[in-house]
């Protein structure tokens, strides 16, 4: 039997933000920048977030404002960067 790699998050209480960036792409990003990605649909962003956070839909927050994927920040910095 082949083992599947566990999700990247360290705890089930990890918040994952999803929303659209300025180009209309869907963004999913963990609040501390530990993982994230760009997606063509909301469904794919949610699917990714659920996989990464251990299947905890209650920890996914869909933002009504634009968000930008920022994979360059350190885990200790603030949450997802807000678009101006």
Asked if residue 1 belongs to a domain, the reply is yes
pLDDT of residue 71: 80
Instruction: Give the confidence band of 67 by pLDDT, cuts at 50, 70, 90.
Output: very high
Asked if residue 19 belongs to a domain, the reply is yes
Asked if residue 30 belongs to a domain, the reply is yes
Asked if residue 74 belongs to a domain, the reply is no
Task: Give dist(CA 3, CA 9) in Å, integer.
Answer: 17
pLDDT of residue 36: 96
Query: Into how many domains does the chain fold?
Result: 1
Asked if residue 33 belongs to a domain, the reply is yes
Indicate if the pLDDT at residue 25 is higher than 90. Answer: yes
Asked if residue 75 belongs to a domain, the reply is no
Task: Give dist(CA 53, CA 59) in Å, integer.
Answer: 8
Task: Give dist(CA 15, CA 80) in Å, integer.
Answer: 11
The domain of 27 spans 1-69
Alpha carbon of 42 to those of 2, 3, 27, 48, 73: distances in Å? 30, 28, 8, 10, 24
Tell me if residue 25 falls in helix, strand or coil. Answer: coil
Model's pTM, two decimal places?
0.71
Residue scoring higher pLDDT (11 or 39)? 39
């Amino acid at each position: 039997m082949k083992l599947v790699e566990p999700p990247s998050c360290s705890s089930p209480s990890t918040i994952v933000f999803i929303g659209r960036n300025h180009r209309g792409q869907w963004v999913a990003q963990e609040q501390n920048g530990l993982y994230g990605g760009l997606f063509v649909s909301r469904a794919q962003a949610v699917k990714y977030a659920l996989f990464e956070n251990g299947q905890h839909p209650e920890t996914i927050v869909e933002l009504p404002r634009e968000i930008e994927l920022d994979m360059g920040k350190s885990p200790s910095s603030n949450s997802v960067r807000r678009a101006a």
